[in-house]
Structure 1
Amino acid sequence: MKFKTPPVSGKFIATLPPLLSVGIIALLVYRFHLEKLAIPLVLGVIAGGLVDLDNALSGRLKNTAVSLAAFAASSLAVQASLGNTALFLPVMALLAFVFTMIGAVGLRYRTIAFGTLAVAVYTTLTYNPDSASAWYLNPLMILCGAGLYSLITLGLHILLPHRPVQESVANAYTALGAYLDAKACFFDPDEADGIEERQIALAMKNNQIIHTFNLCRSALFYRMRGQHRHPRTTRMLRYYFAAQDIHERASSSHISYRQMADKLKNSDLIFRFLRLMELQGQACRDIADSLREGRTYTPDPRLARAGKGLKQSAAHYAAEHPTAPEMPLLQRLADNLQNINYQIANLDSGLPEAAAGDLRIAHHDSAKLKDAAQSILSQLNTRSATFRHAVRMALIVVVCGLIVEMLDLNFGYWILLTAVFVCQPNHSATQSRLKQRITGTLGGVLVGSLLPYFTQSLEAKLMVMTAGVTLFFLFRVNKYSYSTFFITIQALISFSIAGYDITQALPMRMADTVIGCLLAWAAVSYLWPDWHYLQLGKTGAAAVAADAAYLRSVLERLEHGGGEDVDYRAARRLSHERAATLSSTLSDMSGEPKKYGSRLHDGFRLLKINYSLIGYISALGAYRDTLRRDPEHQPFLQRYFPAAAQVCALMEDMSELPEDTFRQRLTDIRAAIKDLRPQEGGEQSSILWQQLAATADLLEPAYLALNGRAETAPDVTNGQDGGQSAVQTAPKAEAV
């Protein structure tokens, strides 16, 4: 019998493992009077949840075995060294450094490594020198809790093997819908002002898309490695490829918003563009809902009618303005949106033609120990953010351990727990986590102070403990302050179950949290602080170089034919990921404006330029399937591709070139593009030339922004080049 995914919330399914795990533990504690074991068992469940990774069944079994083995080694090492300061501090420092460095290999390594470090800290929380229990009992209970959680997740995977992939694809379409909404705002002629704010908002939505696409790609990758591919996996693969193609077309730049808004403000054409993109955004959310509810998506009839209305409006505008120079670009934009309509309407009809020839998915996590070791060794220097963070973590655990040992604090390792969880690789993330941790803990302590009045019985305490862990996992990713609130309540009630007086513990827990947060803040603020290592020029140059690789990949397919393959998708993804990294770097820098000064202006200028570059390249990429290579177009194409190759080469070399060399090469490129411009007719040649000219026109402002001279750059985002460019007749397009 075929088991169909029930139409329930993905969040509800995600809370089932902790709910069932802690529920079983609560039942055992109540039935067999195991109150003293409640704390390590629940901490084991939490550790198991921290390393829970989506995978196929065989992959889950391997992850479980590796995680439990790492947990055992970590917990036993800490347990054996507790009570001996001279041994405990080096052991904890070594564990903190090694497991943080392992995170440099990839997401899966980083997840298991952090969970293993958390187990080491959890072991300190269960330590009681006055206990008569066997020394290995607490580590064993932590392993039992983690094993129970893993066993339940395996059972749920057998029942719902494809639900995580389906949820990941649904999240991707939700993010895609938000991106299309943000893009539609550029076509509102009544909101012509505030273009920069909309560009930044669009960049943020793009970052979210890249994040969800990466999670989706990872989920599909681990289900496609076997010999037999389930039909539902193939269906999700089709949805994923379609989402990528829609994103590329939606992010492409064909027109200058300011010019078109002014010309079309009294025409219904621009409103047709706006309405169609809004309906497409809603369609993406409807697709996401259908995936979450386990039903087949039915396209909204309004989408087809809006596409037809846009086509008729464009034809009417062309008839009224037959010689309008913007008409080919408007027509191309309309065709691009019609293609998005086609993708949405035909999601379940088969793989997109562009993707049908290559169904591979690239993945960045290496499974080979040799490659993993090389990744770690390459990071062993102060230029590596991972190395700097690993050293910070090692020093933090040493300082926390010294404070606990020197002051002889009872259960003082809460300080260590707080510091390890709050300390993040960069200052802004740590500061945000610090505020949420203190707020959540304070709320939890205040509510916890009332618990003794409402939880007199063991049954009530066990129910609160179960609810606390479940709600912690529910809010762990999106609402850290809420998750801290619930885990604080859980911790306090667990201590109460174990027989401790939580009334006396409340002020100490709050003090421990504040001390741990302050230590984490001091570590990221004074030990190799970010502002000494955030290199805007290096990050920006990497982003532009990735754009060049994307452009080369597009040109190769324009020249030789072919749709998407794994190399093309990888180049496109890397371009967007480097743009997201640049955006993240600027976000970190903007938190310390006094330390970065004018570089922030250069950075935001470069960010806008970089997204404009991606927009122009995406427009060329969207054109790759319709390019005609017949004898009529060959003379232009034979001159076009060498000129485009020069643009790629200059983008790749930009960060290393002295200004005179850069300007000489740019002058040569501008001359080649000027000579290349079609003199008459030829819509295809005009579109190819326009996108290349617009790309080349951004090279000078990009170079000046990379070198800290953005204020001298021509303001291309306003459609003006100040007479600097030799291609003055090229229309300027923002990232629209």
Structure 2
Amino acid sequence: MQKKGLQLNSKIIAILPIAIAVNLACVLIWLLQITDQSMPLILGVIAASLVDLDHRLSGRLKNIFYTLIAFSISSLVTQYFLNQGIWFVLSMTAMTFVFTMIGAVGQRYSTIAFGTLVVSLYTTLAYIPDTPWYINPLMILAGTLLYSVITVTVHLCFPNRPLQEKVSRAFVALGAYLDAKAAFFDPDDIEQLASKQLTLAMKNSQIIQVFNECRTALFYRMRDNHRYSYTSKMCRYYMAAQEIHERANSSHFDYKTLAEQLKNADLIFRIQRLLELQAQACRDIAHALQKAQDYQPQARLERAIQGISQSFELYAQQHQDNSALHHIKTLLDNLHNIHCQLQSLSQPIQTPETRTIYTENITGLRQIVRHIGRHFTFQSQLFRHAMRLSLVVFFCCALVEYFHLQADRGYWILLTIIFVCQPNYSATKLRLKQRIIGTILGVIVGSLLPYMTSTLEAKLAVVVIASTLFYFFRSNNYSFSTFFITIQVLASFDIMGFDLYAALLPRLIDTLIGTALAWFAVSYLWSDWKYLQLDQVSQQVIKSQANYLLHIISHLQFGRGDDLKYRIVRREAHDNATRLSTTISNMNNEPKKYARHLQQGFELLKLNTALLGYISALGAYREQMQKLTQDVLFLSEFYPIAKKIIQLLDSLPSLSAVQFEALFQQIDQGIKNSLAQTNDTPSRAVFNMPMQQLNLMAQLLPPLYHLVQTPTNQDRPNEIRAV
């Protein structure tokens, strides 16, 4: 059952629960002739699909239990306060603020909290004054329970599908990263190095985001020492992907210098081709995972790794005096390690993966309250979003109550705001455009429904198709998602006996009002550009890089280290790099607002990408350092310089120019002396690589310091400060 099921298209498996649940709900509506209650029943199914969380069976059952409790409270509170004027306004405002702030605890809490808020809005949309008060909440919960039962059943048939999909996406992202890295080894395109660094930074952000999703999924599957064979296999794939990423992220030299040295040799083209083949191998692994097949490496990949070794031997014989030979050899060692990792995934598991998966797991009421309390500051984007959203909800509810728009389902304005208004300005602007386009198209097509659906069966079929396609497009095309949910709601209105044509224009007007309010809120209520402090982001990034380097140096110095702690600090360094990349990307989406600081941001992003690559190279090299730790001379040279670099990075923003120059001169002179001794002693050439990495890091320190010390804008202290 499992193997056969996994060969189904993953997208089909993903929409099975919503398709089956809505079909069953429509069958119940048709059999029991409960057309008046059709909308809350269907909306209950939709709400449950919005909070569907991947977990093992026991975890899913717990999530369903908590979801039903949260949905019950939300729906009953909303139903109780409906049409009670100011009390309804205050209750909706309070729920909006509380449920939004719960998102501080983690993605799972955020998902359930958002779904709970949506349920309160669905309760208002499905409200019919003539029906008993308990019918509306009861039908929403019935729809939620129906979907939950179906999703558990589908999980039992395909228990590994969600985890398999996440690991598959990780290898797709890894392939894209390797392709971006391969572009650095094009000797005919040297001048585009800056744009390649930015592209690589963006690809790195994407892969770290996917890795984090994988890690979280593995954590919940493996917590409490639940290690099933397939989960252990996916953990092995995830660890291999991390190792490949660290090797690929490593930088051992200035790429422009290397390209100039190798531009007339075939070696650089072989390096580029091998990286491209390894990128394709990652995509082949992803494809094999999606098809539940064993990965079969391409024979040409093996030939490429042999060819590059032979090419290097020939190049080394012809250029014995080339000082870069050792660095090129280290690069080829990294590529060979990537090859071995890829090859290992085609081999049977010899021993189960025993390494620990770590993710932040906040449990207990006291911890949750403490964690949420840390966000009660306007420096927190989540708190600003909660305040902004709550004020807009207050205004919208007051507007509906004051003008008595309940009969016309005026709370559609509120629903639009909740779905459109995002914590980020650029994301909100994109979402509101997609919402308007989807709604307009949905209204146009929805106006044709009476001509195509004259029977109840046909109308229910439209609801099934529209609900399924809404879920299918909800994460990858919001315009299509909005289009289908608009059709679904209009069809539900028709089934309930409302005048469809009377609902068309209000839906469109409500959407326009809701999007306008959302745009106003993100533009003028605690706008991003007043709190997006690039200097704070940059300081956190540099400090995390210093911490990453410190753990590597500690591992090198003592010959051993905690693998879990190392992976945690490495992830923190990459997470902060991703945060910087996201900040620059958001700034780039609004160039007029950030024009004065955008170029500095790009420069910082390029320098940080290079620094992270140089540090990662040492991290990848740490297992080979055992023999170096036996050399007293090396110990006396390498570690004092490394610790000075860590000290300088950690205190970079607070150093005066004199302090920086004095410390930098010590680092620079120490590196020069050490490299001179290494070059004079061929037997100690192996020491050149780690010292050269420090040299590459040191070259970045002056431009980094210059960016960090750029004067801030004193005229507008609340606005973004330059790095």
- Do the structures match in fold with TM over 0.5? yes
1:290 alignment counterpart: 288
1:723 alignment counterpart: none
2:63 alignment counterpart: 63
2:86·2:398 contact (CA, 8 Å) conserved in 1? no
* 1:193 aligned counterpart, secondary structure: helix
2:700 alignment counterpart: 698
| Amino acid in structure 1 at the alignment position of 2:232 | T
Alignment of 1:152-167 (within 5 A): 152-167=150-165
* 2:259 aligned counterpart, secondary structure: helix
2:257 alignment counterpart: 259
2:464 alignment counterpart: 466
1:360 alignment counterpart: 356
| Amino acid in structure 1 at the alignment position of 2:377 | N
2:218·2:235 contact (CA, 8 Å) conserved in 1? yes
| Amino acid in structure 2 at the alignment position of 1:118 | V
Q: CA deviation at 1:671?
A: 2.6
2:720 alignment counterpart: none
- CA deviations on 1:566-611 (whole Å, 9 max, x unpaired) are 1111111111111111111112222333333321111111011111
Q: CA deviation at 1:76?
A: 0.6
Structure in which a larger fraction of residues adopt helix:
2
2:629·2:635 contact (CA, 8 Å) conserved in 1? no
Q: CA deviation at 1:563?
A: 6.9
Give the whole-Å Cα distance in 2 for the aligned partners of 1:350 and 1:689: 39
2:679·2:685 contact (CA, 8 Å) conserved in 1? no
Alignment of 1:23-172 (within 5 A): 23-129=23-129, 132-172=130-170
- CA deviations on 1:91-119 (whole Å, 9 max, x unpaired) are 00000000111101111111111111111
Alignment of 1:327-726 (within 5 A): 327-349=325-347, 359-409=355-405, 410-562=408-560, 565-629=563-627, 633-677=631-675, 678-680=678-680, 681=682, 682-708=684-710
Give the whole-Å Cα distance in 1 for the aligned partners of 2:654 and 2:56: 45
1:563·1:624 contact (CA, 8 Å) conserved in 2? no
2:297·2:346 contact (CA, 8 Å) conserved in 1? no
Give the whole-Å Cα distance in 2 for the aligned partners of 1:683 and 1:62: 59
- CA deviations on 1:443-488 (whole Å, 9 max, x unpaired) are 1111111121111111111111111111111111111111111111
1:108·1:365 contact (CA, 8 Å) conserved in 2? no
1:238·1:350 contact (CA, 8 Å) conserved in 2? no
- CA deviations on 1:625-652 (whole Å, 9 max, x unpaired) are 2224267633213431122112112211
Give the whole-Å Cα distance in 1 for the aligned partners of 2:350 and 2:581: 31
1:549·1:571 contact (CA, 8 Å) conserved in 2? yes
1:17 alignment counterpart: 17
Give the whole-Å Cα distance in 2 for the aligned partners of 1:530 and 1:630: 49
Structure 1 segments of 4+ aligned residues over 6 angstroms from their partners: 350-353
Give the whole-Å Cα distance in 2 for the aligned partners of 1:6 and 1:693: 50
| Amino acid in structure 1 at the alignment position of 2:610 | S
Which of 586-595 and 625-634 deviates more?
625-634
* 1:540 aligned counterpart, secondary structure: helix
| Amino acid in structure 1 at the alignment position of 2:512 | V
| Amino acid in structure 2 at the alignment position of 1:701 | P
Give the whole-Å Cα distance in 1 for the aligned partners of 2:127 and 2:526: 33
1:400–1:575 Cα change, 3 Å = same
**Number of corresponding residues:** 706
Q: CA deviation at 1:516?
A: 0.2
1:4–1:248 Cα change, 3 Å = same
RMSD between aligned alpha carbons? 1.8
Give the whole-Å Cα distance in 2 for the aligned partners of 1:439 and 1:631: 64
- CA deviations on 1:41-81 (whole Å, 9 max, x unpaired) are 11111111111111111111111111110111111111100
Give the whole-Å Cα distance in 2 for the aligned partners of 1:352 and 1:632: 33
- CA deviations on 1:503-547 (whole Å, 9 max, x unpaired) are 121111111101000101111111111111000000011111111
Give the whole-Å Cα distance in 2 for the aligned partners of 1:427 and 1:658: 36
1:631–1:464 Cα change, 3 Å = closer
1:102·1:110 contact (CA, 8 Å) conserved in 2? yes
Give the whole-Å Cα distance in 1 for the aligned partners of 2:538 and 2:48: 39
* 1:469 aligned counterpart, secondary structure: helix
Give the whole-Å Cα distance in 2 for the aligned partners of 1:83 and 1:631: 75
2:628·2:634 contact (CA, 8 Å) conserved in 1? no
- CA deviations on 1:649-691 (whole Å, 9 max, x unpaired) are 2211112333332332222222332333224322321000110
Give the whole-Å Cα distance in 2 for the aligned partners of 1:625 and 1:351: 23
Give the whole-Å Cα distance in 1 for the aligned partners of 2:497 and 2:264: 76
- CA deviations on 1:137-162 (whole Å, 9 max, x unpaired) are 11111111111111111111222212
| Amino acid in structure 2 at the alignment position of 1:707 | Q
Which of 112-121 and 637-646 deviates more?
637-646
2:234 alignment counterpart: 236
| Amino acid in structure 2 at the alignment position of 1:683 | A
| Amino acid in structure 1 at the alignment position of 2:155 | H
Give the whole-Å Cα distance in 2 for the aligned partners of 1:151 and 1:376: 32
Give the whole-Å Cα distance in 2 for the aligned partners of 1:587 and 1:85: 43
* 1:623 aligned counterpart, secondary structure: helix
Give the whole-Å Cα distance in 2 for the aligned partners of 1:425 and 1:367: 25
Give the whole-Å Cα distance in 2 for the aligned partners of 1:159 and 1:364: 30
Which of 581-590 and 661-670 deviates more?
661-670
1:242·1:352 contact (CA, 8 Å) conserved in 2? no
| Amino acid in structure 2 at the alignment position of 1:664 | A
Give the whole-Å Cα distance in 2 for the aligned partners of 1:262 and 1:352: 44
1:563·1:625 contact (CA, 8 Å) conserved in 2? no
1:713 alignment counterpart: none
TM-score w.r.t. structure 1 length?
A: 0.93
Matched, 1:323 2:325: no
| Amino acid in structure 1 at the alignment position of 2:397 | G
Give the whole-Å Cα distance in 1 for the aligned partners of 2:272 and 2:616: 20
1:107·1:365 contact (CA, 8 Å) conserved in 2? no
| Amino acid in structure 2 at the alignment position of 1:92 | M
1:373–1:53 Cα change, 3 Å = same
| Amino acid in structure 2 at the alignment position of 1:11 | K
* 1:598 aligned counterpart, secondary structure: helix
5+ residue gaps, structure 2, are 713-723
1:602·1:706 contact (CA, 8 Å) conserved in 2? no
2:186 alignment counterpart: 188
Q: CA deviation at 1:564?
A: 6.8
1:210·1:576 contact (CA, 8 Å) conserved in 2? yes
Give the whole-Å Cα distance in 1 for the aligned partners of 2:560 and 2:416: 53
2:721 alignment counterpart: none
2:545·2:573 contact (CA, 8 Å) conserved in 1? yes
- CA deviations on 1:256-302 (whole Å, 9 max, x unpaired) are 22222222222111110011001000000000011111111111111
Give the whole-Å Cα distance in 2 for the aligned partners of 1:669 and 1:2: 59
Give the whole-Å Cα distance in 1 for the aligned partners of 2:263 and 2:575: 35
1:597–1:630 Cα change, 3 Å = closer
* 2:609 aligned counterpart, secondary structure: helix
Give the whole-Å Cα distance in 2 for the aligned partners of 1:46 and 1:563: 48
1:564–1:5 Cα change, 3 Å = farther
